[in-house]
Structures are given as C-alpha cells and as structure tokens.
Chain A
Amino acid sequence: MQRLLHFLYEYRAFFTFLILQLLCVWMIVQNNQYQGAQFFNTSNRVAASVSGTTQDVKNYFALRRINDELSEENKWLRQKLEQREQAIQYLTLKQDSVFDTDIVERFEFVNAKVVNNSTARFKNFITINRGSEEGVEPGMAVMNDNRAVGKVKTVSDHYSVIISLLNIDEQSSVLIKRTGHFGTVQWDGTDPRFIDLKYIPRHVVPLVGDSIVTSDFNAVFPPNVFVGIIRQTRLSESDQFHEIDVELAQDFGKLAYVQVVKSRLKKEKDSLENITIGEPK
C-alpha cells in the first residue's frame, strides 16, 4: 500500500496530466453532442457581453453597409407586401375556404443581432443577443433575408449560440429547385464561400446555376429558404453520387442581423409523427 502511494506520489505530475486530459476529452465529446454543455459557451452572459462589446466596435465601422443592406431589404419587402395585397384582393372570392390563420401565420420571426461570429475555423458558431426570454429554443432555424444561416444549438436567458452552416458537423436537407431532387449540404471545412452538396444520384443532371433551397423534409428550416447556387459538378465513372460545389447565398463574413424562425406548427407536426412512427431514436 505504501509503495503504491509512493508510486502515485512519485509520478503525481503525470497522473494529474492524465486526469486533466481525460476531463478535457470528456468535455469535447459532451460538447460535440447536439445540445452540449449549457453554461461554458458564448451564450453565457459574461462571455456574451464581452464578445458583444468587441462586435459593437467592429459593427461601428460597418454601419454604412448595414444601413444600405437594410434599406435594400425594406424596399424588397415593401414590394412583396404590395404584390401580396393585390393577390389577396384577387383571391377574396375564395377566402372563406382557404383562409386559415394557423397556416398563413405558420412562421414567426425573432430579429436578433449577431454578437460573435467566425468563419475561419472548422466548427464555426454564431452568438446572437436573443434567448429563451424572447422565445428562442434549441433546434430553431436561423436565416437572414430568406437565406439559410444555421440552427440554434444552446440558449440562455438572453443569448443563443447558433451552429453555422459553416460547421463540419452540420448537415441540412435541401433540394435542387429545378429538378426537385433531394440532397444534403455539409461544409468541408475549407472555403467559407462554398458548401458541398451530397447524395444527388447519378441519373439526375444538375446544371451549373441551379438554385439550392431547403426541402420540405427539413426538420429545421421552413421549405424554400435559399441556400446557394451550383457552381461546379463532378461525376467520375465509379461514383454513385455527384460531387457538387454550391456557392452560398449568404456571405457569412458579413452577418450583422439575423432572424430566428419560430414554427407554430412544428410541435403539432412532431407530435403527430411521434404518434404514428414513435419517438425518434
């Protein structure tokens, strides 16, 4: 016994090293899971406010560009609104049969400011200044002017951490708008302007310039959110699937404001599926 204690004492540095490393590995594994540790990340209030201050300084120099973008978006939205009004007037005859507010107001948006963002790492995250108090929950979709950005990973009272599409662990179900074929986008970790589109089978002919949008099967995003445009396709003799490079619609280096999408019908859809198929494993 004494010799054992002596042995442990002799190599105490090594054993401490071992214990600390095991602790680190455990934390890394925990954090990789979808809803990882809730406290030690930038949704923590102190960390978020420090990052927020840095971001404020950076944003100050980008104010002109952000203003331009916002006014551009305003113009676009007003145009859409006008078109919609006209369409509704045209459709008033049918209104009684199709007008269901639950369907029309299916999605609600929470505006949020980006307080921390990165694009150069393998696993990029975005921190925003809205949290559970404002109704943000893990799993919600995040977009910017109808362009896909990512999904909420963890929330605190006033901040949330978003897994960016530029994260090698993140996959999203999408479709080629022209042909209607489903695939999956996943970032390869190198160029932040491009994302890989996978699992498009051989018989499909994707063309350069085709739009990629989120699919109806997507558990996170509303359908038809713009992801990007095909820039290059490769298909060798032995491949089962096309290798496709998609240029992202969103420039992640310039994110300043985003919208979190609250889907009112998601709970209903999920619980209905649970009843029929059973709890997801």
Chain B
Amino acid sequence: MTREFLASVIGFLVYALLQVMLFQELVLFRYAFCFVYVAYILLLPMETNSLPLMILAFILGLFVDMFYNSLGIHASSLVVVAYLRNYWLGVITPQGGYDTGSAPTVAANGLQWFMVYTIPLIFLHHAILFFTEAGGFGLFWFTMLKIMASTVFTSAMIILFQYFGGGSRR
C-alpha cells in the first residue's frame, strides 16, 4: 500500500513537472498541444476508486492551471475524465475481464484496447479544455481543428511512453 502510494506520488510529480517545464513549450504548428498529464489519471490502477481519482485530478489540474494562467479550466476537464474513466473501463471490458491488480496499460491489455480506452477520453478532455478557453463555440471549426490535432499529438505521446516506460516497470 505504502509503496503504491509512494509510486503514485512520484508519478504525480513527474507528470506535473514534465507538463509545465517541457510539454508546455511544445506546440506543433500552433495547433497541436500536448497535454501529457492526462495520462496520470488514465494510467492509475484499475481498482482506484473514483473519489480519490477525482480529488487527484482536481489537484493536478489546478497545478497545471497555475502555470497556464487559466485557473479552473484544466482542473475542470481533468475531473470529467477522472469521473468517466471507471465507467468507460467497465464498458470496454475485454472478454476475459481484467486481471486483478493490473493497470490499464498496453502491456496488460494490448495496443488496440489501449487506443479504444484512451483516445475518446483524451478527445473529451481536449474538447472541454479548448471550448472553455475559447469562451464558447464562436470559432467552432478552428477550435475543432486544434482539438483534433492535440488529441493526435497527446495520444501519440502517451502511447509512445507506453513502449519506453512500460518495459522497465514489468
């Protein structure tokens, strides 16, 4: 328990600092943003209750908001992801069910399952984020393009991390 707790605290710090020091600066063609910190909430162990999940999402979101000068926007969209995560995991349970104590990773459930799991949630997160920032649907297609591009970028980054970081954890 304490080891797991420690691991999640370190993970929290790593994702938070990576986001604000590196990925905040990384914007491709002015459209594609990389909000890699979403992976922290997505990759917490299967059995994590949605209450602590939402609290963690709230704190992580606020931390990121502080650096983006956008108080509340990242927190709000990440809390939505945290709330829906466990329902979504239930909906897409593979035939054999999940192994107890496993994490929702590529290594445990395969790439195809992982993409079905992450991409819709990342898309939802980015949609809430960008439309809130734009203050409505005034620039609908422009915002939509940003959302699509960022979803591709973030997802690609998170999947890439699975192949580099995943090996050492197993």
Interface residues of A, Cβ cutoff 8 Å to B: 12-14, 16-17, 20-21, 23-28, 30-31, 36-37, 40-42, 44, 47, 50-51, 53-54, 58, 116, 118-123, 125, 127, 161, 168-169, 188-190, 192
Choose, from B7-15, B112-120, B131-139, the stretch at the interface: B131-139
Q: Which residues of A contact B67 (CB under 8 A)?
A: 42, 47, 50-51, 116
Bound form: Cα–Cα A37–B71 in Å: 8
- Pairwise interchain contact B76-A25, C-beta atoms closer than 8 A: yes
- Pairwise interchain contact B65-A17, C-beta atoms closer than 8 A: no
- Pairwise interchain contact B135-A168, C-beta atoms closer than 8 A: yes
Given contacts A58-B25, A168-B134, contact A13 B69 (CB under 8 A): no
Bound form: Cα–Cα A58–B61 in Å: 25
9 A-B pairs with CB atoms under 8 Å apart are: A13-B83, A20-B58, A31-B71, A50-B20, A119-B30, A120-B31, A121-B70, A123-B69, A125-B69
Bound form: Cα–Cα A53–B65 in Å: 18
- B 13-25 to A, binary, CB cutoff 8 A, 1 in contact else 0: 0000100110011
Distance from A154 Cβ to chain B, minimum over Cβ atoms (Å): 9
Bound form: Cα–Cα A36–B27 in Å: 26
- Pairwise interchain contact B66-A28, C-beta atoms closer than 8 A: no
Contact of A123 among B21, B24, B62, B133 (CB under 8 A): B133
- Determine if B142 is an interface residue (Cβ-Cβ < 8 Å): yes
- Pairwise interchain contact A17-B83, C-beta atoms closer than 8 A: yes
- B 123-145 to A, binary, CB cutoff 8 A, 1 in contact else 0: 00000001011110001001000
Bound form: Cα–Cα A41–B68 in Å: 7
A13-B51, A13-B83 known, 16 other contacts, Cβ within 8 Å: A16-B55, A21-B76, A24-B61, A24-B75, A28-B73, A30-B71, A31-B71, A40-B65, A41-B71, A51-B20, A51-B67, A58-B25, A118-B24, A120-B30, A125-B69, A190-B142
In the complex, which range does the number of interface residues on chain B fall in? 35 or more
- Determine if B72 is an interface residue (Cβ-Cβ < 8 Å): yes
Q: Which residues of B contact A118 (CB under 8 A)?
A: 24
- Pairwise interchain contact B62-A40, C-beta atoms closer than 8 A: yes
Q: Which residues of A contact B61 (CB under 8 A)?
A: 24
- Pairwise interchain contact A24-B72, C-beta atoms closer than 8 A: yes
Bound form: Cα–Cα A42–B21 in Å: 13
- Pairwise interchain contact A122-B21, C-beta atoms closer than 8 A: no
Q: Which residues of A contact B134 (CB under 8 A)?
A: 122, 168, 189
Q: Which residues of B contact A122 (CB under 8 A)?
A: 130, 133-135
Q: Which residues of B contact A121 (CB under 8 A)?
A: 68, 70, 133
- Pairwise interchain contact B66-A44, C-beta atoms closer than 8 A: yes
Given contacts A44-B66, A54-B25, A121-B133, contact A189 B139 (CB under 8 A): yes
Contact of B54 among A20, A47, A51, A169 (CB under 8 A): A20
- Determine if B79 is an interface residue (Cβ-Cβ < 8 Å): yes
- Determine if B35 is an interface residue (Cβ-Cβ < 8 Å): no
- Pairwise interchain contact B133-A12, C-beta atoms closer than 8 A: no
Q: Which residues of A contact B62 (CB under 8 A)?
A: 40
Given contacts A12-B51, A58-B25, contact A190 B72 (CB under 8 A): no
Bound form: Cα–Cα A116–B130 in Å: 20
In the complex, the chain A residue whose C-beta lies closest to that of B53 is A13
Q: Which 3 A-B pairs give the minimum distances between C-beta atoms? A: A27-B72, A24-B76, A28-B72
Q: Which residues of A contact B54 (CB under 8 A)?
A: 13, 16-17, 20
Bound form: Cα–Cα A192–B31 in Å: 12
Q: Which residues of A contact B51 (CB under 8 A)?
A: 12-13, 16
Which of B17, B54, B71, B73 has the most chain A CB atoms inside 10 A of its CB? B71
Given contacts A12-B51, A122-B135, contact A25 B21 (CB under 8 A): no
- Determine if B37 is an interface residue (Cβ-Cβ < 8 Å): no
Given contacts A13-B50, A13-B51, A120-B33, contact A27 B83 (CB under 8 A): no
In the complex, the chain A residue whose C-beta lies closest to that of B72 is A27
Q: Which residues of B contact A119 (CB under 8 A)?
A: 30
Q: Which residues of B contact A169 (CB under 8 A)?
A: 135
Contact of B66 among A12, A20, A47 (CB under 8 A): A47
